Structure 1
Amino acid sequence: MNRASRGSPCQNTTQGTTQVNSMTRRSTTVSSATAPGADLVSLQIRTTIAFSELVEIGLGAISQPFSLFLDDTAQTAQFDIFLESELDASRLRLSLEDRLRQWSEGETWSISIKLVPFEDWGESWKQHFPAERVSARIVVRPTWATFQLGQNDLEVQIDPGMSFGTGRHFTTRSCLKLVDVLAGHCLPSSLLDLGTGTGILAIAAVRLGFSPVVAVDNDPQAVQIARANAALNSVAGKISFSVGDLASMRNLQPCSVVVANILADVLTAQAGNIVECVDMRPGSHLILAGMLADQYPLIRDQYQHLGFGEMAVESGDGWTTGLFQRL
């Protein structure tokens, strides 16, 4: 039930370029065994932004840490996987070339090896992850950054060194935006976060006034990380976390708002289970995210046949997020 974005995170720097420090459930993108002052070898994968999300998911599935640079102007993406030797890089390259051929389905990509001089990796990447406003009221701030909050701003602290998902990816940002909008119209309401990852959506929901808030992920480590982030934000007691997947979970209490920012194939295969999580009362809401733009129409039609009407659509970076209401 991992997020499609989960979408990771330490970001942006130069104009038109975003750096995402991926932390696929790892503390840094560099092996802790790397000797102080040692140079590194970078295995670089270059592809399109549209294909980059599938590469992110694939690398996450094999627990491979990476850093990701997105050039919005050129619509290109570069993954850097840092290793200690060219031999390690060559071995990984052979493995990843086979996987990329399976993942690509015609998408263009290239892979190469580059020597990277030493720097203080544990600290230098932090400059690329500033605090940022992600919705009308929600501000996401890493623990070391500062942000001048407005009177109505609500802060969510996320430590990007902890996990994958800090609100920089479009799917997460669009969900946060829609949850913020719903909070202005339908509180008090319960909220269920399916595929919680770092817990960013659940934490934001508490900040916005939703109660109770429930967060679920099929990855035990993700749930552990989400709990830590909730504690960082002093809301640990206001979110009920659990480990499970949609195919086997039958004990979830239906909620007034359900956010499913997961994978398109899961949204399709588990549609029946997802709609059962939404309160039966007309007017209850469902946010679906994690779909590429060309995947959205079929999924929208599927949920409309299950009794949900489309209320709003957010599109960007090749992705589409839909807000639905039970009819």
Structure 2
Amino acid sequence: MASFAMTRCAWWEISVSVPADAADAVAGIMEAVFAAAPVQCQRAGSSVTKVTVYLPKSARPDSSLIKSLKERISALAVGEAARCLRRIRVSRLKPENWRDSWKKHFRPIEFGGVLLIKPTWSHRKAKPGQTVVVLNPGLAFGTGHHATTAYCLDEIVRFRCGGQPAAFLDVGTGSGILAIAAAKLGYKPVRAIDIDPEAVRSALANARRNKVQRLIEFSAVGLANFKPDSPRTYGLVCANLSDDILLKERRRLARLVDYSGRLVVSGILRKYFARVQSAYEALGFVMERSRTEGEWRSGTFVLTRKSHRPTPKGHEYVQSGEISE
């Protein structure tokens, strides 16, 4: 997603606090109404998500837009709509308040004692031997605080500490946080893809900030058009995607995981996790571990069937066994 520059102009903040399982639907409504990319924030352990859009306007947002927002939210399930409509907030932010609002939600956070994620304004020093990733908060998803991103970072650290780092692929890179952490922890090669060119630009800027831009290959491409740059596959693939995309793209994702490699899936509402698990187990994966936080559940799968490893044929990757197209 595109990031807004922190200029001297005033900003308007329109936010709705919703149950986590309604957040994606409300975010879609807000993006359609205001033509601006929404931000979703959820505190660890909470079942409530705050969905926010920021509008760089000097005048209060048109009342017709707020009315349209309420009408569209009202079309949701009755229980969800009632809860959402009570929590619509419109407020004017001064430039300094814009900066402060990010500081409230983005504080330094550690993973496994070996990785520190912190914002550019933080003066916190790393512990001896600790790897540091510095991020500038834009509107691209991924600061490490959301349960789904945090799980991916924990797994990146866990596999790094458990053995030799492998080739790494970040699917749906957003801010680039996972790919940057992987590169700084020694994974190589590292590739990161996202269908949103603005997200890729934001990720590349963060990679430069961390001096790892030469260690990561970013691509504005979806899984349907992504091809590994050599016959190898990846020892660790992180896919922080919604359950519908994980299901739709399961065969393409499976082809990218090396035999005995790991696929980390997150971004899944707890009530939909079982169907994602079943779909990947049918492709030869075994769930190694999972974690539930609030409404979200994430999992790590190991590819156990050797026949699922892809082999190159020219520039295409043909899959033998069950997961061939």
2:263 maps to: 286
Structure 2 stretches of 5 or more lacking a match? Answer: 305-325
Look up the equivalent residue of 1:97 and give its one-letter code.
Answer: K
1:232 to 209, 222, 226: 209
Deviations along 1:65-85, whole A, 9 cap, x unmatched? 556665678744444545547
Question: How far apart, CA to CA, are the structure 2 residues paired with 1:69 and 1:162?
Answer: 11
1:133 aligns with 2:110: yes
Aligned to 1:10: none
Q: Which residue pairs with 1:123 in the alignment? A: 99
Work out the CA distance in 2 between the residues paired with 1:76 and 1:199.
25
Query: Aligned ranges for residues 154-303 of structure 1 at < 5 Å?
Result: 154-161=131-138, 163-251=140-228, 253=230, 254-279=233-258, 281=259, 283-303=260-280
Q: Structure 1: which amino acid aligns with 2:123?
A: T
Q: CA deviation at 1:315?
A: 1.3
- Give, in whole Å, the separation in 2 of the partners of 1:90 and 1:207: 47
| Paired AA for residue 64 in structure 1 | A
- Mapped partners of 1:233, 1:94: distance in 2: 43
Farther off after superposition, 170-179 or 241-250: 241-250
CA distance in 2: counterparts of 1:74 and 1:227, whole angstroms? 31
Contact kept? 2:36, 2:54, Cα under 8 Å: no
Q: Which amino acid aligns with 1:269?
A: K
Gap change, CA 1:122 and 1:204, over 3 Å in 2 = same
SS of match in other structure, 1:88 = coil
Secondary structure in structure 2 of the residue aligned to 1:184 = helix
- The Cα shift of 1:259 comes to 0.8
* Alpha-carbon contact 1:196-1:215 (below 8 Å) kept: yes
1:15 matched residue in structure 2 = none
Distance 2:180 2:63 in 1: 41
Go from structure 1 to structure 2 and tell me whether the alpha carbon gap of 1:240 and 1:94 turns closer, same or farther (over 3 Å shift): same
TM alignment of 1:301-316, pairs within 5 A? 301-316=278-293
2:320 match: none
1:73 and 1:260 map into 2 onto residues whose CA distance is 21
1:237 is aligned with what amino acid? R
Answer yes or no: is the 8 Å Cα contact 1:25–1:63 preserved in 2: no
Residue by residue over 1:235-276, the C-alpha shift from the partner in whole angstroms, topping out at 9 and shown as x without a partner, is: 000001111112233456521111111111000011011101
Check conservation: 1:190, 1:255, Cα contact below 8 A. Answer: yes
Q: Does the CA contact (< 8 Å) of 1:171 and 1:261 recur in 2?
A: yes
Q: Give the Cα–Cα distance (whole angstroms) in 2 for the partners of residues 105 and 326 of structure 1.
A: 42
**Equivalent-residue separation in structure 1 for 2:225 and 2:67 (angstroms):** 36
Q: CA deviation at 1:59?
A: 4.3
Q: Write the distance in 2 (CA, Å) between the matches of 1:73 and 1:201.
A: 21
Shift in CA distance, 306/175, structure 1 to aligned 2, threshold 3 Å: same
TM-score norm. by structure 2 comes to: 0.80
Q: Could you say which residue in structure 1 is the equivalent of 2:65? A: 92
- The answer as to whether partners of 1:135 and 1:176 remain within 8 angstroms in 2 is no
Identity of aligned residues (%): 27
Tell me, yes or no, if the aligned pair for 2:44 and 2:147 is still in contact at 8 Å. Answer: no
What whole-Å deviation, never above 9, does each CA across 1:18-67 have from its counterpart, x for those lacking one?
Answer: xxxxxx52225x8x6945xxxx6553423224433543465467752556
Select between 73-82 and 170-179 the one with higher mean Cα deviation: 73-82
Q: Distance in 2 between matches of 1:124 and 1:271?
A: 40
The structure-2 alpha-carbon separation of the partners of 1:41 and 1:161, relative to structure 1 and needing over 3 Å to count, comes to closer
Deviation at 1:90, TM superposition (A): 1.7
Change (3 A) 1:194 1:72: closer
From the superposition, tell whether residues 117 and 201 of structure 1 become closer, same or farther in structure 2 (CA, over 3 Å). closer
Runs of 4+ in structure 1 over 6 Å off? 71-74
1:64 to 25, 36, 50: 36
Gaps in structure 1 of 5+ consecutive residues: 1-23
> Paired residues, what number?
296
